[in-house]
Amino acid sequence: MSTEIKPGMRESASFDRNVINEIQRAAETGIYHIRGWGAKRHLPHFDDLVFLGASMSRYPLEGYRERCATDVHLGTRFAKKSIHLKIPITIAGMSFGALSAQAKEALGRGASETGTSTTSGDGGMTVEERHHSKTLVYQYLPSRYGMNPDDLRKADAIEIVLGQGAKPGGGGMLLGRKISDRVAAMRTLPKGIDQRSACRHPDWTGPDDLTIKIEELREITDWQKPIYVKVGASRTYYDTALAVKAGADVIVVDGMQGGTGATQDVFIEHVGIPTLPALRQAVEALQELGMHRKVQLIISGGIRSGADVAKALAMGADAVSIGTAALIALGCNSPKWQQEYEKLGTAAGFYDDYQDGKDPAGITTQDEELAARLDPVEGGRKLANYLRVLAMETQTIARACGKSHVLNLEPEDLVALTIEAAAMAKIPLAGTSWIPGVNGGL
């Protein structure tokens, strides 16, 4: 029920209705607020950058006529079998457990149809996921739930996960209400208990150990598979440099807008840094080491449109990864389920209670009846459509900037609309040559 705000009624900026609601909720329950999704607060983001496009000194390419390639090679540093994707947009790691088997299958179908990769998640690799994913990245997480060498060998790449943008340093959790018999068996834990995913790896700490861990994984897989290292955006410059030093083929950086299946709200909103500065720091580290484009960089966290993809590539990423946007493409938060969202005390566009397992769209649930609502074939088709739109939008911008390959986009094509974005991305403020923290005044 919306409240009519009349003259004289002034809402506190510090204690607005959301803050009041949270304080009273905490007082009632004695437990912090756990939810899914990523950071919801306003953050400096790709929206704060724009492309300059062609001009007198830059020649555009003809839309739909002149070629603008989108393919990307990942894992070219050490692996015998690098990965070749048709589009530079990958599907991020999301676990079976957090997501239904139908959702995982749909992600695999959509990604395969468009020539890109999917990624497993905490809890191991499912048969459906492997079967429907032409290119599958297998995550190696601290919990090691479901980890086994057979699946490791079946994977096309291995992603060692140190953290994710929604909760750098935080590990993970899958609440008992989502632990079905199958999820419990895959994770070797009793049904119905709150499953904690460790925040640290059990058998290595620090970059020197990571070097040896990567060596072990390469030995087990006979140096066939690219090894990715994924970090939540925090000390991104150093994390990137150390991951390169440890021998990673690909670095994955997830900004704080990146989603989660279940984490404390205080963690999501207050730990980590936005995608924009994280990307710039990672690129700087790679460039300073002379490894830019040799060790590939995947950026994630709040990628929604081809404009976001193009801006990420222009800043120096080799590819992007999407999670939340992919779920939305499958039908998450669709108005189709408005009545059911209302029964859960929320509305389409606001639903983030992925931890509860009651998702009306059948995506973030293990309830068989709800999960059956998602047709994996139709979901896969929708995701494929969405991925194609992202790719075409990226091409549209790249052509307008005169690029025959989307990876030819460069920082020089961009300007910033805000001082914050200019400082974080090290892109000049529009209409000036000013980059705060880099050169002088206006």
What's the order of all strands across the beta sheet hosting 89-91? 89-91, 319-322, 296-300, 250-254, 227-232, 157-161, 135-140, 117-119
Residues 155-184 that bind another protein (CB under 8 A): 176
Cα 331 to Cα 290: distance, rounded to the nearest angstrom: 42
Residues 105-144 that bind another protein (CB under 8 A): 143-144
One character per residue 73-112, x = contact with another protein (rule: CB under 8 A): ----------------------------------------
Under the criterion CB under 8 A, does residue 54 sit at the interface with another protein?
A: no
CA angle 213, 238, 39 (to 5 degrees): 95
Q: Which stretch binds another protein (CB under 8 A): 38-46, 160-168, 218-226, 252-260?
A: 218-226
Under the criterion CB under 8 A, does residue 27 sit at the interface with another protein?
A: no
The binder of another protein chosen from 16, 66, 71, 203 (CB under 8 A): 203
Under the criterion CB under 8 A, does residue 213 sit at the interface with another protein?
A: yes
Residue 299's DSSP bridge partners are 253, 320
Under the criterion CB under 8 A, does residue 222 sit at the interface with another protein?
A: yes
Under the criterion CB under 8 A, does residue 188 sit at the interface with another protein?
A: yes
Quick one: 161 or 409, whose CB is closer to another protein?
161
Cα 274 to Cα 287: distance, rounded to the nearest angstrom: 20
Cα 403 to Cα 80: distance, rounded to the nearest angstrom: 30
E strand or H helix at 397, and its extent?
helix 376-400
Q: Which stretch binds another protein (CB under 8 A): 95-103, 202-210, 292-300, 331-339?
A: 202-210
Residues 6 or more apart whose Cβ sits within 8 Å of residue 21: none
Determine the size of the site formed for another protein (CB under 8 A): 32
Under the criterion CB under 8 A, does residue 24 sit at the interface with another protein?
A: no
- Angle, helices 275-288 vs 236-246, to 10°: value is 40
The binder of another protein chosen from 223, 269, 292, 405 (CB under 8 A): 223
With b meaning 16 or more CB within 10 Å and e meaning fewer, what string describes 295-313? bbbbbbbbbbbbbbbbbbb
The binder of another protein chosen from 22, 128, 194, 375 (CB under 8 A): 194
Cα 169 to Cα 317: distance, rounded to the nearest angstrom: 23
Quick one: 194 or 284, whose CB is closer to another protein?
194
Under the criterion CB under 8 A, does residue 215 sit at the interface with another protein?
A: yes
The CB-of-438 to another protein minimum distance in angstroms stands at: 42
410 within 8 A of 138, measured Cβ to Cβ: no
Quick one: 51 or 223, whose CB is closer to another protein?
223
Beta strands in 207-338 (DSSP E): 227-232, 250-254, 263-264, 296-300, 319-322
One character per residue 297-326, x = contact with another protein (rule: CB under 8 A): ------------------------------
Residues 358-397 that bind another protein (CB under 8 A): none
The CB-of-249 to another protein minimum distance in angstroms stands at: 17
Which three-class secondary structure state does DSSP give residue 203?
Answer: coil
Find the radius of gyration of the CA atoms of the chain.
22
The binder of another protein chosen from 21, 23, 41, 148 (CB under 8 A): 148
For β-strands 250-254 and 117-119, DSSP reports them as unpaired
The binder of another protein chosen from 4, 28, 62, 219 (CB under 8 A): 219
Residues 234-253 that bind another protein (CB under 8 A): none
Please name which of 173, 157, 193 lies closest in space to residue 122, comparing C-alpha atoms: 173
The binder of another protein chosen from 1, 13, 31, 442 (CB under 8 A): 31
The CB-of-241 to another protein minimum distance in angstroms stands at: 22
Please name which of 234, 285, 235, 239 lies closest in space to residue 256, comparing C-alpha atoms: 234
**Interface residue list for another protein (CB under 8 A):** 29-31, 143-144, 147-149, 152, 176, 187-190, 192-194, 196, 198, 202-204, 209, 212-213, 215-216, 219-223
